[in-house]
Amino acid sequence: MMRPDPDPLHERYSASQFRALAAPHVLTDATENFDRPHFGDFAWQQQLGEAVAAGRRTGRIRPAPRLKNDPRRFRDAAVLMGIVDHGDEASLILTQRTAHLNDHAGQIALPGGKIDEADSGPIAAALREAEEEIGLDRQFIEPIGLFFPYLSGTNFRIVPVLAIVRPGFQLTPNPNEVADVFEVPIRFLMDDANHRIGSRVWEGKERYFYEMPYQQRYIWGITAGIIRQVFELLYAPVFGVGEAET
């Protein structure tokens, strides 16, 4: 398999480069995808904590194997990682959840939600949720495939659906779920210098997570974790990992 060419550098953050980098890592079969190694709150907690204790930046985070007999009962969900094709400067569509929601109120998120029985799989669920949440017409979306699952501390098994979004769409956010929709440049998100390790005490334990403050937006938790895993598997092996301090 040919390695994506990182040159010329001005194309590093284009949608076409993202597609080329993603192709070796995605699947279209949902059953096979669920059995892949996973990332997430459980897999990273110890590794992030060790990095902070050592006073250094973490380099690559090791994925955890899928546990066939895992006693936890994960609820399946899918999110759309929609990369908008703006030529050499692609961007990612993100939402800010409304303040009155019961879960993750006011937080930055990828469009998505639980996989319903009527959905044919994660891709169908992600496209449906994007339509329901932000009014993104699926005719503008070109799915690339399914990325490695992310297991959340709230027992969701989240499948990121990587996709290219063609410009020209009109968005109509659902006011019951979404307070705002915005785009963040891939140039910012795929730069290790913009990734920080944060922590909070939750249920009596110190919990570690990635955070990526962007302008007035605070990207953290699951959303930042998914972005980080995309960076580590797609961009870091080709373009390297920086040595920024935490």
**pLDDT tens for residues 33-62?**
777 767 765 555 556 666 666 655 545 555
pLDDT value at position 60? 54
pLDDT digits (tens, 9 = 90+) for 138-163: 999 999 999 999 888 778 889 999 99
Q: What is the rounded average pLDDT for all residues in the chain?
A: 82
pLDDT value at position 69? 46
Q: For the domain bounded by 9-233, which CATH number is listed?
A: 3.90.79.10
Q: Is the pLDDT of residue 2 over 50?
A: no
pLDDT value at position 34? 75
What percent of the chain has a predicted confidence (pLDDT) above 70? Answer: 76
HEC-encoded secondary structure of the chain: CCCCCCCCHHHCCCHHHHHHHHHHHCECCHHHHHCCCEEEHHHHHHHHHHHHHCCCCCCCCCCECCCCCCCCCCEEEEEEEEEECCCCCCEEEEEEECCCCCCCCCCEECCEEECCCCCCCHHHHHHHHHHHHHCCCHHHEEEEEECCCEECCCCEEEEEEEEEECCCCCCCCCCCCEEEEEEEEHHHHCCHHHCEEEEEEECCEEEEEEEEEECCEEEEHHHHHHHHHHHHHHHHHHHCCCCCCC
- 11 confidence band (pLDDT: 50, 70, 90): confident
